[in-house]
Structure 1
Amino acid sequence: MPETLGIIGNVSRRKTSNTKVDPLLFSDEAKELARQALVEIGDDLVGEHIGVSISGEVAVHRFRSLAPGYKSWEWVAVLACVRGSGAITVNEVSLQAGKNAARAPEWIPYEDRVLPGDLGPGDTLPPRADDDRLCQFKELTTAHNFPRNPRARTILSQMGLEQTLKRWRTGEFGPNSEFAAKAAMMCRTCAFYLPFNDVETHFGVCTNEYSADGHVVHETYGCGAHSETKAVPETQTNRHYGAFDDGAFDDISEEICRDR
């Protein structure tokens, strides 16, 4: 028998007397074997021994994890031994989350993680198989004054159009945006506003390079660059402070110098 068996007497009989677990699995020999098994996969990321517990007929040794990004995780080695055989077997090694471990957020499928603006040059983003924004032309019941692309195999559905109009209305170029609230005139009367197909769509594109050029704008959106904007007379932009003669300061300065 190995010399390390001499410490078995220190193992609480309350832990082992009613189980089939050999007390050898709680020895320093078992702890060192568990560490060696974990070092093979975790190298110098295996910290100090933090506990051992019984699970059925095996002992589970736990070591603190020193792996970056795995705060409060634990290296685990499961050891087994036929009672009285003196032979310890490593059944399993793993890195597991401890009670207060930092965990990764719940997995979100890729198609649900992509946000507007994530698409970059060279990226591909195929539509979902169940994308409600698309439909066959025969499924469309009304166009709401927005023509669909006749060269596309599928077209924008009614739901897709409604979602689009909602984004445009509530976006930065919609009727309730800050620019629109402070504008004196609306896009509907601006020469730089190009309505979509029909004025009843209430949306169009701005062509003013100094404003919302190229953006879809609501007809009640507005800015300070409306085509009918008039130049403000200079008299209205300059405050009148009146003439100010600073010559008196020179006279005072000369008197002070003479007095000194």
Structure 2
Amino acid sequence: MRSAKLDQVCAAAVDLAREAITEVDSAEVGAHLDVVAEGERLVTHYFACEMPGYRGWRWAVTVTRVSRSKHVTVCETVLLPGPDALLAPGWVPWQDRLQPGDLGVGDLLLTPADDDRLVPGYTLSDDPAVDEVTWELGLGRPRVMSKEGREETAQRWYDGDHGPDAAISSAAPPTARCVTCGFYLPLAGAMRQAFGVCGNMFAPDDGRAVSSDHGCGAHSEALAETASAEELPTVYDDGEVESVDD
């Protein structure tokens, strides 16, 4: 598409465009920055904005004229951000802004009715432990985690601070894995093969879900060897005999 030709009569109407900016004091309208052809005999003039707090913004005044007329009229004036303008961050919906740990005491987090992580409790969820108690309509919880929800949760746990790549797990002996620890309490259902809860009060993961291949130095089989001190025989120095007078 061919770009519009700049109308010279409209382009020369710089003073008219400047005078059209009546929203602010004339001192807050800066230098003429540019003129752009918007269409046939339709031109926009750009002026610097000198108002405090509007760095990089520009006044835009669009002017036009009818065919075979030298009389230029103003269409509109508006304040627009330039390429280097200071702008507020873009709007992000609350459900996209929410991060793990944001929920505080007294807060209420509403779960959408169409949340992909949940399915109605009366449907099969591919988790035998759940299906055993929720197969009959009216029993069990209204909703349970879907297969997609469990997979997402498992991946988040596995990649987090309680998975095999956590710093404390990497520093632990290779044999000190949770799956062989006596304090490891496996979860029920489909998550049982990969996750459990730590029950060691001295471990940093106590009360938290950990992966079976997670590890730490508080493993139940990290037994301390009791060192017994060897009792040495009594040694008598009989090389010298001390004489005792009666």
- Regarding TM over 0.5, the answer is yes
Residue 122 of structure 1, CA deviation: 4.3
1:203 aligned residue (195, 214, 229): 195
* Alignment-derived partner of residue 185 in structure 2: 194
Counterpart contact for 1:204–1:218, Cα < 8 Å: yes
Unmatched segments (≥5 aa) in structure 1: 1-12, 236-260
Cα distance between partner residues in 2 of 1:146 and 1:68: 62
C-alpha distance in structure 2 between counterparts of 1:203 and 1:81, whole Å: 74
Whether contact under 8 Å (1:22, 1:81) holds in the other structure is no
SS of corresponding position for 2:22:
helix
1:78 is matched with which residue?
Answer: 62
Match of 2:78 in 1: 94
Matches within 5 A, 1:50-199: 50-55=33-38, 56-66=40-50, 72-79=56-63, 83=69, 90-98=74-82, 108-143=92-127, 145=129, 152-184=141-173, 185-197=176-188
Residues 20-31 of structure 1 mapped to structure 2, 5 A cutoff: 21=10, 25-26=13-14, 28=15, 30-31=16-17
Two-structure CA RMSD over aligned residues (Å): 3.9
Aligned equivalents of 1:231 and 1:45: distance in 2? 78
Structure with greater proportional helix content: 1
Q: What TM-score, normalized by structure 2, do the two folds share?
A: 0.64
Matching residue's letter, 1:37: T
Contact between 2:7 and 2:43, CA under 8 Å: does it hold in 1? no
The answer (yes or no) to whether the contact 2:177–2:214 under 8 Å persists in 1 is yes
The whole-number CA distance in structure 2 between the counterparts of 1:120 and 1:156 is 23
**Aligned partners of 1:68 and 1:47: how far apart in 2?**
12
Report the equivalent of 2:244: none
Distance 2:109 2:115 in 1: 12
> Does residue 1:47 correspond to 2:30, yes or no?
yes
Following TM superposition, the consecutive aligned residue runs of length 4 or more in structure 1 with deviations greater than 6 angstroms are 102-106, 146-150, 232-235
- Aligned-partner SS, 1:37: coil
> Who is 2:222 aligned against?
229
CA drift at 1:152: 3.2
- Name the CA shift for 1:38/1:190 in 2 (closer, same or farther; >3 Å): same
> What stretches of structure 2 of length at least 5 have no aligned partner?
1-5, 229-246
- 2:110 match: secondary structure: coil
The answer to whether the Cα contact below 8 Å between 1:186 and 1:220 also exists between their aligned partners in 2 is yes
For residues 145 and 91 of structure 1, the distance between their equivalents in structure 2, rounded to whole angstroms, comes to 70
Identity of aligned residues (%): 36
